[in-house]
Amino acid sequence: MTSPAHELRVGLVGYGLAGAAFHAPLIAADPHLRLDAVVTSNPERQHRVRTDHPEAAVHAQPQSLFDRADELDLIVVAGPNRTHFELASAALEAGLPVVVDKPFTVTAEQGRALIDQARNRALMLTVFQNRRWDNDMLTLGVILDSGELGTIHRFESRFERWEPAPKSTWRDQGPVAEAGGALYDLGSHLIDQALQLFGPVSTVFAETDVRRPGVEVDDDTFVALAHTRGVRTHLWMSKLAAQHGPRFRVLGDRAAYTKYGFDPQENDLRAGRRPGADGWGQEPAQRWGVLGSGEEVHPRPSELGRYEAFYAGVARALHDGTAPPVDPADSVAGLEVIEAARRSAAAGTVEHVH
């Protein structure tokens, strides 16, 4: 077992949005991790890596990392969604623990295969479901634990953006077979949060639409979940929302909680700020959600967001052999919901989740 004093050497595959704005800065901010190498074949991104992380080696191909597996302690897969399964499998085959960005894989079957492969090789495998550490998600967890809302009967959650001009990336142009589109991209977060908060689901109904000219995959999607414990969840994900609805609305038989606006951590990371900076994860009071019933409502201070908790959990898992911060089986359950949603949208039916 690696000594706790030893910095774990991390190889990052991919330096697009996920790699550059999320994984690399969070890895660099963790005292137990060292960003040792980054893989990107794009010359502009290679230059950016050398500027952002001059201590990291730059490689054009992932195989360069797998060939020096004995010099690394962890691989992070942050390339396009379609590459997740192949790259994670190759890393495990090389004997390396793996973090995979969401969505875990394109299909639940692929996810289960990776879990089996990791188990057979006694290697850690986890999925970057960072939105579990959003300030609103953490705040809602505290509220639910307090019982202030009573028995929950409805949960509404949204990731809505205003991007009327499509981007020329796989997220907008890639086929569904590559896990492009809002359901895989934004829905992976929303579904994971719903499952974490209210448990497994029995049925799924979905509507998926392509609203913007030139887009190849869904950019305006609605998903309804019936949880086995009785809660009904409604999820909206859109790239064409000129005005945004509440991020969360949670209805109980004693009170409700409504929250607008997004956690600030993503914008802070994009702006170059890192965990530990003054005010990290803190939301101004004017953006707090409100809790109560009827006219009797009051602001509920937001918990501090803490994306850094994910990689702290990864480091603990590798040092101590404890469970990783996200069980990959949770992400397979999310993929099963996505697959049921795709079937539902195609046929106009309510689909059962097996």
Return the bridge partners of 98, or none.
Answer: 75, 125
Q: Would you call 177 helix, strand, or coil by DSSP?
A: helix
Average pLDDT, the chain: 95
Average pLDDT, integer, range 298-325: 97
Is a pLDDT exceeding 60 seen at residue 3? no
**Domain 134-307+337-352 listed as CATH 1.25.40.10:** no
Distances (CA, A) of 349 to 132, 155, 203: 30, 21, 10
Share of the chain above pLDDT 70, in %: 98
Instruction: State residue 156's pLDDT score.
Output: 98
**Domain 8-128 listed as CATH 3.40.50.720:** yes
Domain ranges of the chain: 8-128, 134-307+337-352
What's at 282, amino acid-wise?
Q
Q: Of how many residues is the chain composed? A: 354
Q: What is the pLDDT of residues 115-125, one digit of tens each?
A: 999 999 999 99
Q: Would you call 154 helix, strand, or coil by DSSP?
A: strand
Q: What is the pLDDT of residues 32-62, one digit of tens each?
A: 999 999 999 999 999 999 999 999 999 999 9
Instruction: State residue 167's pLDDT score.
Output: 82
Asked if residue 9 lies in contact with residue 35, where contact means CB atoms within 8 angstroms, the answer is: no
Is a pLDDT exceeding 70 seen at residue 260? yes
Other beta carbons within 10 angstroms of residue 175's beta carbon come to: 12
Is a pLDDT exceeding 90 seen at residue 182? yes
Pick the residue with more confidence: 148 or 3?
Answer: 148
Edge-to-edge order in the sheet of strand 33-39: 57-59, 33-39, 8-13, 74-77, 98-101, 125-128
Cα–Cα distance, 165 to 159 (Å, whole number): 17
- The token pair at 236 is 């909206």
**Parallel, antiparallel or unpaired: strands 289-293 and 296-300:** antiparallel
